[in-house]
C-alpha cells in the first residue's frame, strides 16, 4: 500500500475524469454495488489497478481495494448487469458525466461487454478512497485487466 492512500473527490466533470482514469480496469463484483435509495447514495466496492505504482516504474502490477461513492443520487438504472448474479465480475471501463439542468446531470459508469449504470444526480458529488492492498488476490489473473474477451 502506498504511504498515502488515494482519496479523490469529484465535484465537476473534470474531477470525475481524474477519478475515471484511476478506476480504469477495476474489477467489481455485482454484490459490491450497493444502491441506498433512502440515503440517495450509491457505493461500489472495487479492486482497482494501482496505476500510480505502475506508472512510477513498479515492476509488479498490483491491485488495491477501493470504494467509489456517489451522493445526491436521485435514480440508479442499470443495463446488462445482472444483480441477481452476486458473484458476477464486471470490469469498469470508465465514468462519464452528462450535465443537465445545473447543477444536476447523469453519471454513467461503463463496464465491459456493454454493462452500464446511470446515476441521475442533483449535483455531482463523488469520492474514490483506497482501503488497502489486495493481499488475497495476488495471482496473475487477478492482476491483469480482463480485456475484450472477458
144 vs 100, higher pLDDT: 100
* Predicted confidence (pLDDT) per residue in 1-52, tens digit: 444 789 999 999 999 999 999 999 999 999 999 999 999 999 999 999 987 7
* Predicted confidence (pLDDT) per residue in 41-81, tens digit: 999 999 999 877 766 676 677 899 999 999 999 999 999 99
Contact 107, 41 (CB under 8 A): no
* Predicted confidence (pLDDT) per residue in 104-142, tens digit: 999 999 999 999 999 999 999 999 999 998 876 543 444
Distances (CA, A) of 110 to 14, 84, 99, 128: 17, 19, 17, 16
Tell which residue, 57, 36, 31, 61, has the closest CA to residue 46: 31
Take residue 72 and report the three cell numbers written for it.
445526491
Amino acid at each position: 500500500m502506498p504511504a498515502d492512500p488515494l482519496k479523490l473527490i469529484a465535484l465537476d466533470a473534470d474531477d470525475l475524469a481524474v477519478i475515471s482514469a484511476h478506476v480504469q480496469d477495476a474489477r467489481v463484483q455485482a454484490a459490491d454495488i450497493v444502491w441506498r435509495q433512502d440515503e440517495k447514495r450509491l457505493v461500489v466496492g472495487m479492486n482497482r489497478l494501482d496505476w500510480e505504482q505502475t506508472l512510477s516504474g513498479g515492476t509488479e502490477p498490483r491491485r488495491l481495494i477501493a470504494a467509489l461513492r456517489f451522493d445526491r443520487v436521485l435514480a440508479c438504472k442499470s443495463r446488462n448487469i445482472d444483480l441477481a448474479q452476486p458473484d458476477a465480475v464486471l470490469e469498469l471501463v470508465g465514468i462519464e458525466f452528462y450535465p443537465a439542468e445545473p447543477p444536476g446531470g447523469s453519471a454513467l459508469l461503463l463496464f465491459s461487454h456493454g454493462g452500464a449504470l446511470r446515476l441521475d444526480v442533483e449535483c455531482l458529488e463523488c469520492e474514490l478512497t483506497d482501503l488497502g492492498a489486495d493481499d488475497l488476490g495476488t495471482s496473475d489473473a487477478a492482476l491483469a485487466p480482463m480485456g475484450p474477451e472477458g
